Amino acid sequence: MTASYAALLGLVFLGLSIWVVKGRALYRVAMGDGGQPALFLRIRSHANFAEYVPLGLILIGFNEMVGMNGWGLHALAAILLLSRIAHPVGMVLPATSRWQRPFRGFGVLGSWGVILISSLLLLVGLV
């Protein structure tokens, strides 16, 4: 089960990678962000994904290995997937958009929640 979500998250990561490369081409920036705020947001969205997803997947995978039931695994993995999609959406929405904070907030809190719950389940052996 974890492998299926890892594959979906891999596709999201590839999409974010292409989005960054397109931004680099658009702004003609080979390294860094070239002082372009829009490119900076793309780069940070991609990096944020790379920072949180591996640990989230590892923890979900460990919970699967120790016997966590299917619905719990799907819930954790689905929240991780949805939060990692929501985060870059929130990052590019204008600061004046009423949706910017909810999307970014769900992106961050969803990822943190998955890491927290997965970690606690492993530590206390509730699975």
Residues 6+ apart with CB under 8 A from 91: 41, 44, 45, 104
Instruction: Please give the tally of structural domains in the chain.
Output: 1
Domain ranges, residue 100: 2-124
Q: What is the pTM of this model?
A: 0.92
3-state secondary structure of 108: helix
- pLDDT tens track for 94-103: 989 999 999 9
Q: How far is Cα 44 from Cα 52, in angstroms, rounded to an integer?
A: 12
What CATH code is carried by the domain that includes residue 70? 1.20.120.550
- pLDDT tens track for 24-69: 999 999 999 999 999 999 999 999 999 999 999 999 999 999 999 8
